[in-house]
Every structure is written in C-alpha cells, then in structure tokens.
Amino acid sequence: MRAPDTVSAAAPSGSSFWTGFVATFRLEVAEAFRARWFAFYALVFFGLVGLLLVFGLTESRVLGFTGLSRTLVTYIQLTMAILPVFILITTVRSLAGDREAGVFEYVLGLPVGIGAWYAGRFLGRYLLASAPVIAALLAAVIYGVIRGVRVPWLELGFDIGLLLVMIFAFVGLGFLISALTRSVDTAQTLAFIIWLVLVLGLDLVLLGALIRGRLAIEGVVAIAMLNPLQVFRTGSMLLFDPQLVLLGPTAFTVFDIFGRTGFMVWSFLYPLVLGLLTAGAGWAIFRRGDLP
C-alpha cells in the first residue's frame, strides 16, 4: 500500500496552539504514569498520610492540636520540607534529561509551537506534582469524615490553596533552571543549591542571624517575605495557630507589619507571581536559545 504517498505533495492541514498544547499535556501525563519518579512521588505522599493517620487521628494532643487538625498541621509541615526539593529535582531531571536524551531534538522537530509545547509540559508537570499531594490530603479528610472526626474545612481549604500556589512556584523555578542549564548534572546541582538557600532562609535559621545582630530586621523580614518556603510556612500556620507561637521571630514581625489578612493575600499572590515570573523567564530563555 502507498497510503501517505498521495498526501506527500498535498498541503497539510494546520495544527493550532491548542492542538499542540493539548497533545503535549496529554503526552506529559501519559509518560509520567509510566515513570518511576511519579510512582515514588505518589507513594511518598500517600505513605506520609497513611502514617499520620495511624499516629495522628488519636486523642493525643500535641502543642494544642488534636485529631485531624494535628494530622493536617504535621502533613503540611512535612510537605514543606520535602515537596520543594522533590519538585525541583524531578522537574529538572525530566526536562534536562529529555534534552540530553535527544527528546527535544525529535519532538521539537515536529510542527508543535514552542509556546504550546512549553505550556503543555508546564501544565502537565504542575498537575502531576499537585495531584498526589492534594489527593493524599483529601484521602485523609475522607478517612476523618468516615471516622466522625471534626474536619477543619476553612483551614483545609486555605492550606490546599497554599499548597497549590507553592507547587506552582517550584514548578516554575524548575522550568527556569532547566532552561538555564544544558545537562542533568548541572540542573540538579543548581536545583539543590537553590533549595538549600531557601531552607537556610527559613526563620528558624534567620533567628540566629538576628540574635547575632548581623542582619537588620528589615533585611530579615525581606528575606522571609521573599522566601517561598517561609511564606508557605507562615501562611499555612496562620489559621491553625493565629498567635504563631510555633513559628519563629520573623513570622511575628511579618505578621505585625502585614496583619493577618494582608499576609494571607501575600501568601497566595507571591508564590503565584513567582511561579509565573520564573516560568515566563524560562520560556523567554528557552525560545531564544538552541532548543536541543
């Protein structure tokens, strides 16, 4: 048979941005379901919730938190510790790895717009990074409801929102790092360094700088306000712990300056804007340079 021979000389029909975007998004998701990183990633968060349910939904009271509130607080704090580095490393490994593996050369030799491809991969990666985290959290809530435990709906909704914007920020950072680097090794190293710098910028570490008087209070507050990890940490505890007794001194200062509502708005908007800016910068760098 010679089926495509007749169409070889015909004018092929076009593929729009949406066709390329949807096809790339679908492919990113299909590929992830077969990837070990995604299975491990989902296993970690569901395992975490499982462990917390086993040890968390008891009558024990820890620092004023009981039942599902205690589980949520613990889950969110643990999430803050492992999620960013997980997202950064898996995202840069995937993108930089694809570049090294000749995937960019092949896929970007197809008639898919760079914008459609980039946006499709970004959204796919964002969905993949968010789904296990949120699904595990919701599983805990469903379990709690079945067990007749009081669900802190307001806090839960707020913290899910915070998780979603934090994931958005780190996926954006991952895309920027991938656009800046040409190899998996470099990308992973840079991602790890960035994560380490952010951890060092948490208020428990900043406390030391404050005590030693080496940093002005304005500097410490600025670092805390610009560090997405600290913003998430403070934001996620706002509703559970309005007095912020569990948080460090910068959180207090920030809370004093912004007030509760102001900081809640900031904790949503800042990671969102950071994610948009970093993803946008990654896109600008990527499209201007050599693609493979």
Partner 1 sequence: MISLKGVVKSFGATRILNGIDLEVPTGQRIALIGSNGAGKTTLFRCLLGEYTHEGAVLVGGRDPRRDRTDVLRLVGFVPQVAPRLEMPVAALMRYVADVTGGRVEDIEAIAARMGLDVAPIRGRAFVKLSGGMKQKLLIALALGRPTRLLILDEPAANLDPAARAVLFDLLAERSEVTMIISSHRIDEIAALVNRVIELEHGRIILDDTVTDAGALGSTFVVRLTTARDEPSFARAAREWGLEETGEGAWAGSVAGPDRLRFLGFVARHAGLVRGFSLDEDTASQGGERRALASSP
Residues contributing to the site for partner 1 (CB under 8 A): 1-5, 7-15, 19-20, 22-24, 26-27, 30-31, 34-35, 101-114, 288-292
Taking Cα atoms as reference points, which of 282, 276, 263 lies closest to residue 95? 282
Which residue number, 16 or 243, has a Cβ lying nearer to partner 1? 16
Question: Rounded to the nearest whole angstrom, what is the least distance from the CB of residue 123 to partner 1 in the complex?
Answer: 16
Which residue number, 37 or 192, has a Cβ lying nearer to partner 1? 37
Torsion of CA 289, 188, 100, 288, to 10 degrees: -10
Question: Rounded to the nearest whole angstrom, what is the least distance from the CB of residue 183 to partner 1 in the complex?
Answer: 14
Question: Rounded to the nearest whole angstrom, what is the least distance from the CB of residue 98 to partner 1 in the complex?
Answer: 8
Alpha helices in the chain (DSSP H): 5-8, 17-32, 36-56, 67-100, 103-107, 114-146, 153-180, 184-200, 203-211, 217-226, 228-238, 249-288
3-state secondary structure of 62: strand
Strand 61-62 with 65-66, pairing:
antiparallel
Strand partners, 61: 66
Q: How far apart are CA 162 and CA 167, in angstroms?
A: 9
Taking Cα atoms as reference points, which of 40, 85, 269 lies closest to residue 177? 85
Which residue number, 19 or 74, has a Cβ lying nearer to partner 1? 19
Which residue number, 108 or 222, has a Cβ lying nearer to partner 1? 108
Tokens 């970690």 belong to 44
DSSP secondary structure of 105-149: HHHTTSS--HHHHHHHHHHHHHHHHHHHHHHHHHHHHHHHHHTTP
Which residue number, 100 or 192, has a Cβ lying nearer to partner 1? 100
Q: How far apart are the first and last CA of the chain?
A: 35
Question: Rounded to the nearest whole angstrom, what is the least distance from the CB of residue 104 to partner 1 in the complex?
Answer: 8
Question: Rounded to the nearest whole angstrom, what is the least distance from the CB of residue 2 to partner 1 in the complex?
Answer: 6
Which residue number, 69 or 181, has a Cβ lying nearer to partner 1? 181
Question: Rounded to the nearest whole angstrom, what is the least distance from the CB of residue 127 to partner 1 in the complex?
Answer: 16
Question: Rounded to the nearest whole angstrom, what is the least distance from the CB of residue 241 to partner 1 in the complex?
Answer: 43
Which residue number, 5 or 59, has a Cβ lying nearer to partner 1? 5
